[in-house]
Structure 1
Amino acid sequence: MTKFEFLFPELGEGLAEGYIVAYMVKEGDRVVEDQPLVEVQTDKVTTVLPSPVAGVIDILPYNPGDVICVNDIIIIINQGEDEGAEDVSHGWLELAATKDKKHSWNEFGINLGIYPNAVLDDPIDDSIIKMTSMRKEIANIVTKSYKTIPHVTVFAEVDITNLLSHKENLKKHKGVNVSLTPIFVKALSQTLKQHPMFNANEHNGSLKLFPGHNIGIAVDTDEGVVIPNIKQVNEKSVHTVADEITELVERARSKKMLFTDSREGTITISNVGAIGGGYATPIIFAPQVAILALYRAEKKAVVSENDAIVVRKMLPITLTFDHRFFDGADGLRFINTIKVHLEDHYEAYFH
């Protein structure tokens, strides 16, 4: 009988480790090829790994919550000539499992156990809250980024009064209804054409530039922020971008992100306007070198060019960038460019 060693694969660039969330089988179970075996969490992505072979589960060497490294053996499967599929249990296909309100369940009806946002570290002392594996991963990423990247943030306000008016006119007269986030993403892409060095990753102390604009979208989920990205924004219409943002957000919040969703991002945008707040200094999603953030637009009294006081809708924005590669002047030129695109060239982004 052949023993197949299922190794934890490298699911993302630079991935070194992950966590076991839950096994979907037990030792002695007979499985078929492509049957879901184990749910794992990697760099901000929770995903299900299917069985590459048919056979009988021999050893499950880890427990939920255990840390695993790339190429660790996470399952051993016995393969034999007499292993048919007729005795395979198909209970894993039953998606409508009874839900226990005290726990978190995935789409296979498997109790994830460790996944609630607040997990008690000590049942005697309920004032101690243990970080979930998701929170630990986020902590590792932001700590490394903050310690290794000299962050600089520049601030600006964008007058989006005319943009909002144009948006409402299109909705009223032509039935075109596009939310602001895809507009911001397209404006960022246009800005990157004029400042291509910001569309890059840090690579061994140098900048690796990319022709395609794979723009990450910071998504607020129950488990923490995740950053899937839209590939090749520079080649897509705003309507395509809008559809893809909707799909990415849905997958992120339902913990169904694909391996490729968070890979190969070149820059990130964070639109927190719905939550509110003025300004912040976001942490760069390494190895990227910049992150653009947009906040809640507010009506303000503004002095016009002819010295009249007018009420305008002003949008606060920030650009945080890696000071190793850019100076303050570079950041200001970048943020001024996107300001011009949103104030003067917004009509182009609705097509």
Structure 2
Amino acid sequence: MNEIKVPELAESITEGTIAEWLVKKGDNIEKGDPVVELETDKVNVEVNSDFSGVITEIIREEGDDVEVGDIIAKIDENGEAGGDTSQEENEPAESKAKENEQKKEEPKQEDKQADKEETQSKGDVIASPAARKRARELNIDLSKVSPRDPLGRIRPEDVDAAASSSKENTKPAKEDKKSKEKTEFDKPVERVKMSRRRQTIAKRLVDVQHEAAMLTTFNEVDLTNVMKLRSERKEKFIEKHGVKLGFMSFFTKAVVGALKEFPLLNAEIQDNEIVIKKFYDIGIAVSTDDGLVVPVVRDADRLDFAGVEKEIGNLGKKARDKKLEMSELQGGSFTITNGGTFGSMLSTPILNAPQVGILGMHNIQKRAMVMPDDSIEVRPMMYIALSYDHRIVDGKEAVQFLVRVKQLLEDPYDLLLEG
């Protein structure tokens, strides 16, 4: 009998959640076949079998958290598909029936001991192990807890309710008049377990706000020339490169140009050192059903506009299809996020640690603008935001960086030629 274990996933990733079993008990599989999909902090990973044979046992269920090295299933190399492959299942029916009868009549020794201890300590109180543990934590007498279970079994939520009631009864009269904390909703709700990726996103966003001195500066960009250039070149661009000329390539190239002039925005802090990166790996935030991921366009400074557009399109598709590899999510030096695709007009993006800068794009709106000659024209305008880590980036440098991005976008012809 061989074991299927959680393999080494990637550097810094030691655990995951079983998202979906791709096989079931009794299935015949070949060596190298995918058997389970694991959800990790960043991507979903398929685990392949190291053996050929029949799945005899699935040990961990969908939704279970597992760590590298955990046994999640067993496989019999000599088993037959769809058949009874375990030793227990191959035993004669009479033997199994007799054994089952004995199990019913004779409770396990540890169960007897547990029941005895519970009876001695709590009398006739019936409570789940989790409820007893919760009662010990809150110092609640189980004999004074009212169960809501029709069978009289006390559950953890009953203990919480009793603890809350006890606290309420000890509050001063004035405090009783205030709205009381509710332990249950009085209207319908739905509880959904947070995915591992969503938990990680939540933790990292909170961590960065605690660790970085984050500040945001804003500006606005007149996209008249970008839109004109896209209109002029879009058909020839598609014919030549097989991809559309979008806005993201303009912003990516403008960011690279500005980073070269203001290198501290392309850095990170390690202990007491500032690490200034001499490469331009730009993360592009992509929204998926499971949360936000940030795949990285490598060496964006060496790619032309078509190369940037192809890479962004490829990474975006892989993100939505859950096909991203770990290497495609690691090591970015700066991030761009586009809330404008969802209609956002203005926002303050949160840093993608350990990076110290992130550019936020927003939706394009036509607005009446006063021109240098005091005439008024309707122009397609976009607010842009730069969040930065004030520990190493001063306000002056951040503002100048954003102004440079604005200048490059408002005069994109040189940007396109140079890019």
Query: How high is the TM-score relative to the length of structure 2?
Result: 0.66
Secondary structure class of the residue paired with 1:331: helix
- What displacement does 1:54 show? 3.9
Q: Deviations over 1:36-59 (max 9, x none)?
A: 022111123122122244455566
Change (3 A) 1:287 1:62: farther
The answer as to 2:68 corresponding to 1:6 is: no
- Structure whose CA Rg is larger: 2
How large is the RMSD of aligned CA atoms in angstroms? 2.9
Change (3 A) 1:288 1:72: farther
The answer as to 2:383 corresponding to 1:316 is: yes
Q: Gapped runs of 5+ residues in structure 1?
A: 90-121
Q: 1: CA distance between counterparts of 2:227 and 2:294?
A: 27
Alignment of 1:27-38 (within 5 A): 29-38=27-36
Q: Is the 8 A contact 2:215 2:390 kept in 1?
A: yes
Change (3 A) 1:204 1:191: same
Letter in 1 for 2:72: I
Q: Is the 8 A contact 1:303 1:309 kept in 2?
A: yes
The answer as to 2:406 corresponding to 1:330 is: no
Q: Which of 189, 212, 215 is matched with 1:152 structurally?
A: 215
Q: Which of 10, 14, 17 is matched with 2:15 structurally?
A: 17
The answer as to 2:138 corresponding to 1:75 is: no
Q: Is the 8 A contact 1:21 1:39 kept in 2?
A: yes
Correspondence for 2:105: none
Secondary structure class of the residue paired with 1:280: coil
Letter in 2 for 1:197: L
The answer as to 2:407 corresponding to 1:340 is: yes
More deviation in 253-262 or 340-349?
340-349
Change (3 A) 1:147 1:76: same
Q: 1: CA distance between counterparts of 2:214 and 2:3?
A: 47
Change (3 A) 1:191 1:310: same
Correspondence for 1:213: 280
Q: Is the 8 A contact 2:5 2:72 kept in 1?
A: yes
Letter in 2 for 1:73: D
Change (3 A) 1:125 1:42: farther
Q: Is the 8 A contact 1:55 1:77 kept in 2?
A: no
More deviation in 189-198 or 244-253?
189-198
Instruction: Pick 1 or 2: higher relative contact order, CA cutoff 8 A, min separation 6.
Output: 1
Percent same amino acid among aligned pairs?
32
- What displacement does 1:317 show? 0.4
The answer as to 2:168 corresponding to 1:168 is: no
Q: Which has the higher helix share?
A: 2
Query: How high is the TM-score relative to the length of structure 1?
Result: 0.78
Correspondence for 1:256: 323
Secondary structure class of the residue paired with 2:190: strand
Correspondence for 1:106: none
- What displacement does 1:291 show? 1.1
Correspondence for 1:244: 311
Letter in 2 for 1:217: I
Q: 1: CA distance between counterparts of 2:235 and 2:75?
A: 64
Letter in 1 for 2:30: V
Change (3 A) 1:126 1:209: farther
Letter in 2 for 1:141: R
More deviation in 286-295 or 298-307?
298-307
Q: 1: CA distance between counterparts of 2:15 and 2:395?
A: 36
Q: Is the 8 A contact 2:58 2:74 kept in 1?
A: no
- What displacement does 1:156 show? 0.5
Q: Deviations over 1:104-155 (max 9, x none)?
A: xxxxxxxxxxxxxxxxxx9x98513324314323222222222222211110
Q: Is the 8 A contact 1:215 1:269 kept in 2?
A: yes
Matched residues, number? 311
Alignment of 1:242-321 (within 5 A): 242-321=309-388
Q: Gapped runs of 5+ residues in structure 2?
A: 83-183
